[in-house]
Amino acid sequence: MIIQKITSKSLPDEIRIGSSKSYLNRALILASLKTNRVKIVGASESTDVEYLINCLREIGLEIKTASNQLEVLNSFPSCEKVSDKPIVLKVGDGGTTARFLISLLSLGKNKYRLILDEGLAKRPFSEGISVLRKLGASIDFQGSEITVQGPIIQTGDIEVSCENTTQFASSFILLNQVCSFNIKLTNVKASKKYLDISQKLLTESQESDFIVCKTDFSSISYIVAYAFFHQDVLITNVKEIDWSQADSRIFDIIKSIGGDFIIDPNGLRIFKSEAKRGFKVNGNNCLDLIPTLFYLAAFLPYESEIIGLEKLQLKESDRLSEGLKILDFFGVEYKYVSKDDKITFSAAVSRKKKDELLKTAYDHRMVMLGTLFFKHLGGGMIAPSESVKKSFPKFFEIF
């Protein structure tokens, strides 16, 4: 566990953000299914992307990396080499990595054994596994290991529940690169934009062997929220708002409370602003943004309200309980009503000592939430800081 010291220094005036891991992981799966060479523009040092690339290489795919570009040279399952023993793949703690791989590997003939981190093994998998079993895959889930062997039937009608996650649903959309599934999605309660991104990328990849990945608006949300209170910031590699990303909702929220931003030839400019009102948000459509909104609501001099919190419990940690612990640590006044699935903020924060240490769950978004508070209040220490590598490896270079 690494402890990171947070100072009260300002953010850099100019910032460059990496590509979205949501785009990159989807692009990698799509490229792995195409017989032509596929170039992917956009790079990320996210551990989720690194795990996926390593696993794809282990199953026989050739992937070249250069500067801000990836190139996938062959395709799955034609790249499979017959193996008498299960091929072991370490997938880390990424839900997208694991769920996308399970579906992809079900196209092959070899047996694959996926090793999941302890926290990931507790997250929902049954919805996608049940569909793959109906299609003919042999899948065994014991402890922190999932064994997968196909091949599945690649055509027909399938029904995919999105009750707990849309990631399996996205994986089946991506498989339509080579399959002919008529997909019926049920219980779509949250994260619909990720389904839309999957369909958009599928369509684009069917038309071209060149995929461009967008800048990560999840990462940008932390900068936008902090800049609103403290300083003007220029993000140099954003030339438009990608509204297809769920966390781009931060711009609507910032506008609604009196904030301002523009896009000019130099990039996206976010301006320090004076709050004019609080906000009300349904978090079901932007679950990953909710931790950032906790920070924003805590320091607004107006009441704010967030509903749609329940699915936070199914993330890398129970982000609902862990997020509330962080609010308690910083003395935030709030009221959480579980039966209404709602939290209301009244924005009275007690300053903590600079040398105080906050230990969060091993969850990148909880560490980044705690960092926003410390940065705002003048400093502190946070751990485990290494968890930010999952989505925003350069987070502490900026904060």
Q: What is the DSSP string of 168-185?
A: HHHHHHHHTTT-EEEEEE
User: For 269, phi and psi rounded to 5 degrees?
Assistant: -105, 125
Two tokens, residue 99? 């769920």
Q: What kind of fold does domain 4-17+215-398 have according to CATH? A: UDP-n-acetylglucosamine1-carboxyvinyl-transferase; Chain (3.65.10)
- Adjacent-strand bridge partners of 182: 157
pLDDT at 45: 82
pLDDT at 190: 73
Is the Cα dihedral 297, 302, 303, 308 positive or negative?
A: negative
Mean pLDDT calculated for residue range 253-273: 97
Two tokens, residue 122? 């507790």
- Per-residue burial over 281-310, b if 16 or more Cβ lie within 10 Å, else e, is bebbebbbbbbbbbbbbbbbeeebebbbbe
Nearest to 42 by CA among 237, 178, 229: 237
User: For 114, phi and psi rounded to 5 degrees?
Assistant: -95, 130
Chain region(s) in the chain for CATH 3.65.10.10: 4-17+215-398, 21-212
Domain range 21-212, CATH class: alpha beta
pLDDT digits (tens, 9 = 90+) for 358-399: 999 999 999 999 999 999 998 999 999 999 999 999 999 999
8 Å CB contact between 396 and 385? yes
Mean pLDDT calculated for residue range 58-85: 93
- Adjacent-strand bridge partners of 180: 155
List, in sequence order, every beta strand (DSSP E) within 187-341.
210-212, 233-235, 260-264, 267-271, 280-282, 304-307, 334-337
pLDDT digits (tens, 9 = 90+) for 178-219: 999 999 999 987 778 899 999 999 999 999 999 999 999 999
Q: How far apart are alpha carbons 237 and 265 in whole angstroms?
A: 10
Q: How far apart are alpha carbons 317 and 287 in whole angstroms?
A: 13
8 Å CB contact between 338 and 351? no
pLDDT digits (tens, 9 = 90+) for 214-227: 999 999 999 999 99
pLDDT at 313: 87
H helix or E strand, kind and range, residue 23:
helix 21-32
List, in sequence order, every beta strand (DSSP E) within 278-325.
280-282, 304-307
Q: How far apart are alpha carbons 332 and 369 in whole angstroms?
A: 13
Residue with tokens 């709030």: 334
Rounded percentage of the chain residues whose pLDDT exceeds 70: 98
pLDDT band at 113 (very low <50, low <70, confident <90, very high): very high
pLDDT digits (tens, 9 = 90+) for 14-55: 999 999 999 999 999 999 999 999 999 987 889 999 999 999
pLDDT at 119: 85
pLDDT digits (tens, 9 = 90+) for 316-360: 899 999 999 999 999 899 999 999 999 999 866 666 666 689 999
Nearest to 154 by CA among 140, 129, 130, 137: 137
pLDDT at 351: 63
Residue 100: alpha-carbon gap to chain centroid: 14
User: For 24, phi and psi rounded to 5 degrees?
Assistant: -60, -45
Residue with tokens 């999957």: 198
- 3-state DSSP call for residue 78? coil
Mean pLDDT calculated for residue range 265-292: 95
The one-letter amino acid code at 388 reads V
Is the Cα dihedral 380, 1, 11, 22 positive or negative?
A: negative
pLDDT at 299: 94
Q: What is the pTM assigned to this prediction? A: 0.91
* pLDDT, averaged across the chain: 93
Rounded percentage of the chain residues whose pLDDT exceeds 90: 83
Q: How far apart are alpha carbons 288 and 82 in whole angstroms?
A: 40
